[in-house]
Amino acid sequence: MSGFDYDVVIVGSGPAGVSTWLHLHKFAPALAARTLVLEKARHPRHKLCGGGVMRAADAVLGRLRIKIDVPSVPIHNLEFHYQGKRFYWRQKNFFRVVRRHEFDAALADAARRRGMTLHEEEAFRDFTQVDGGVEVETNRSTYRARALVGADGARSVVRPKMGIEERPRVSRLIEILTPADDHATPEFVNHTAAFDFNGLDMGLQGYIWDFPCWEDGVAAMNRGIYDSRVYPNRPRADLKSLFRAALQARGVFDPRQRWEGHPERWFHPQAIYARPRVLLAGDAAGVEPFAGEGISFALQYGEVAAAELVVAFRRNDFNFAGYRDRIMTHELGKSLILRYRLAKLIYRGWPPVVVNLFFRVMGRVWS
């Protein structure tokens, strides 16, 4: 490794970055030992998120022999609202709802216990190609590494530095927490997550969610609005008005509430995922645009990115030309493509009768 400080630098210690390190540790422990993970914040760091952790996420962690035991609300019922009708999909432990600062801190701790070198409060700024590797500049230092992974989320800084110029493929989300009573709020009592698709008729390419959760031991409802924008040329729905009306309808609108927004990057089969010496993972690469679910996908990206890195080091070839194929042939790519097609189908602007039929059919499949 002469002339290089590390073999790999991973930017971001969310699910994608930590999973990349954990899989490197599983596949090639010596390589993981020569890997640095950079995190601009400090755990437990704030992350806007509904906190819905699907079983696929816990399955990835299970294969790594990691159990993230943080306060969670198990969800056994999904309730879909459209045009005054309710559709139910029932399945025990469909997913669980966590708070992301707790989940991500526990995941980072699990990796640290296995030896992950994590520099917190150190932000990636830029990189340049050098002979045999990359030079990575942060707010604190400069490192030479042979490969770089951008796992720095939807507002990735690595991505634009790779010179990727693509159509914007970004979803819009707003989220708040409202008070709840774990003995009386129906979503708590029935272990239900609600998805309200009434906004489809007002140009929303998404839904409003109501998830029960625990915030510092106190029952709360995580509520938000998701606009996938998989049809980016269509007029934008008025997100704030739709969300305000939904909160008013639920009797939980409070003008003093602080709303927070954050984008998500959605997966597209033709998107760019790598350049020589640099890979993208998680939100920086693109997650599924149907429900905006990204945690399980970020964890799966980690497995695929680590496999690509191991092969690159074995062959001493850092072109990463095979990364796309590796993504597409993995269960990650197969589910991303399926959800991408589902998003294109459901957000197409069908007449209400077709949307009703869709929920009815899906309800039968999932119940």
Ligand X SMILES: Cc1cc2nc3c(=O)[nH]c(=O)nc-3n(C[C@H](O)[C@H](O)[C@H](O)COP(=O)(O)OP(=O)(O)OC[C@H]3O[C@@H](n4cnc5c(N)ncnc54)[C@H](O)[C@@H]3O)c2cc1C
- The helix (run of H) or strand (run of E) holding residue 129 is strand 124-130
Give me the 62-91 binding string for ligand X, x by CB under 6 A, dash otherwise. ------------------------------
Q: Which two tokens stand for residue 68?
A: 């993230």
CB of 32 to ligand X, least distance (A): 17
- 286 part of the interface to ligand X, by CB under 6 A: no
Q: CA-to-CA distance for 95 and 60, rounded, in angstroms? A: 14
Chain Cα centroid distance, residue 285: 10
From residue 237, how far is each of 53, 200, 227, 241, 287 by CA, in Å? 27, 9, 8, 9, 21
- 194 part of the interface to ligand X, by CB under 6 A: no
Q: Which of 207, 292, 318, 358: binder of ligand X (CB under 6 A)?
A: 292
**Judged by CB, which is closer to ligand X: 84, or 168?**
168
Q: Which of 6, 89, 124, 214: binder of ligand X (CB under 6 A)?
A: 124
Alpha carbons within 13 A on the beta-carbon side of 293: 23
Q: Which stretch binds ligand X (CB under 6 A): 36-44, 232-240, 316-324, 355-363?
A: 36-44
Q: What letter represents residue 319's amino acid? A: N
- 49 part of the interface to ligand X, by CB under 6 A: yes
Q: Which of 8, 10, 11, 22: binder of ligand X (CB under 6 A)?
A: 11
- 51 part of the interface to ligand X, by CB under 6 A: yes
For residue 90, list its beta bridge partners. 77
**Judged by CB, which is closer to ligand X: 15, or 333?**
15
Q: CA-to-CA distance for 282 and 298, rounded, in angstroms? A: 4
Q: What letter represents residue 120's amino acid? A: E
* Residues engaged in binding ligand X (CB under 6 A): 11-17, 38-41, 45, 47-52, 123-124, 151-153, 157, 173, 175, 224, 262, 264, 282-283, 287, 292-296, 298
